[in-house]
Structure 1
Amino acid sequence: MKNSLLLLLLVWIIGGCTSANNEINLPYYTEANFTPQWLDQEKVEGIHRVADFTLTNQDGQQISNGDLKGKIYVTNFFFTICPTICPKMTNNLQRIQEAFPEDDDVLLVSHTVMPWVDSVAVLKEFAERNQINSNKWHLLTGDKDLIYSLGRTSYFADEGFGKSVTDESDFLHTENIVLVDADQHIRGVYNGTLPLEMTRLIEDIGRLKKELGS
């Protein structure tokens, strides 16, 4: 009898812990060291957000962060002639596009770090070659200083994987993929060269959608 009661108590404790873990929201990331913070909703106001920007996508359309407000989006930095990590990242991001093909609330945003090479026409050809859906995935080009500032001060690119930039003129090249919520807070960071990380990212997008009630 005692053993049965002990077993029931253990099942109840484990079940309770599992339910609690399932209800934990994704953390917020507010600093370049990517230290996760679990915040109550009333403490979210005023924390780090992606800065305002306006850039141009592969269709020649002006895209601003205002166009992304209310959307969950996945973002990274790349350039079309990159021979190393960028092709891996593009292939891995294809999984995100394929996982949410009809979901208008989930987008992908890739910023070129070589805007002097990656014109609208070049990005358009890259999109067609890589089967990128322009309604789902924006490839952005524009002012270099703006892109680099966004990368380093908004998305904390060049950080988080044992790499730090001391000279702001250094070339921006990062394997980070960042998850941004509907209020433009950073909610996840992933190594874009690893397929397993994309599995985690897809799961986290699902969790974020539940959190936002979408």
Structure 2
Amino acid sequence: MKVVNALMLVGISWLVLACQTADSEQSVVVDLPYYSTSDWMPVWIPEDSLETVNPHAIPPFAFLNQDGKEITDKDMKGKVYVANFFFSTCPGVCPKMTNNLHLVQDEFGTNSEVRILSHSVMPWVDSVAQLARYAERNAIQSETWDLVTGDKKEIYQLARESYFADEGFGKTLTTEEDFLHTEKLILIDQYSHIRGVYNGTLPLDTKRLIADIYQLIE
């Protein structure tokens, strides 16, 4: 009987140890990578090497939002933000992205450290007034979420060269005037570095984005 009890205690001890190990493994958080090239190759950079490595950063920009307010890169300094590209009359992909970005707005709506920045890829249609109507129809809160319009060339250049956002760029495009298309949601950290890319049409990917935002702000 004593031998049986001893074996039971050993078994229980191993079970507890296994559970603790599993919990420990589940609680491990891997640092988010940096993205500096259009092929979306992730690179992990130690914090003490950032100044030396100098990862890619989003350059200065200035656009008008749905309230007619100028939004610049300075408004995003020190904040984590999600960038994407859409147009207000898009019938398919854009509504899905907007619905999923609502998950981000709902999660961080009262947090001043987090913003959403949606760039129109049809700025000749999406005036400030048009974006204001779109924001009202979709319950978009300007305190958290900016829909921006501006010069087409500036938006397209920023999308392709800085956010690496266009799925077709470098593959099927014949000129720089070709229409910009992307389903990407792009996570930018407090220092203008790209830290994540997600499929904006998938709720599961958006939940992964939310988890990564928490990791950056915590």
Q: How many matched pairs?
A: 206
Structure 1, unmatched stretches of 5+, are none
What residue is the counterpart of 1:129 in the other structure? 137
What residue is the counterpart of 1:42 in the other structure? 48
Matched AA of 1:144 = K
Q: 1:208 aligned to 2:216?
A: yes
What residue is the counterpart of 2:114 in the other structure? 106
1:63 to 58, 68, 71: 71
2:33 to 27, 32, 39: 27
| Residues 49-198 of structure 1: pairs in structure 2 closer than 5 A | 49-159=57-167, 165=173, 167-198=175-206
Look up the SS of the partner of 1:44 in the other structure.
Answer: helix
Look up the SS of the partner of 2:185 in the other structure.
Answer: strand
RMSD: 2.0
The percent identity for this pair of structures is 50
Deviations 1:134-165, CA, capped at 9 Å, x for gaps: 111101101111100110111111249xx764
Matched AA of 1:178 = I
Change (3 A) 1:7 1:105: same
Deviations 1:10-41, CA, capped at 9 Å, x for gaps: 4554444334x22x221111111112222101
Partners of 2:121 and 2:84 lie apart in 1 by 10
Change (3 A) 1:11 1:95: closer
Look up the SS of the partner of 2:115 in the other structure.
Answer: strand
User: Are the aligned partners of 1:55 and 1:63 in contact in 2 as well (CA < 8 Å)?
Assistant: yes
Partners of 1:168 and 1:42 lie apart in 2 by 38
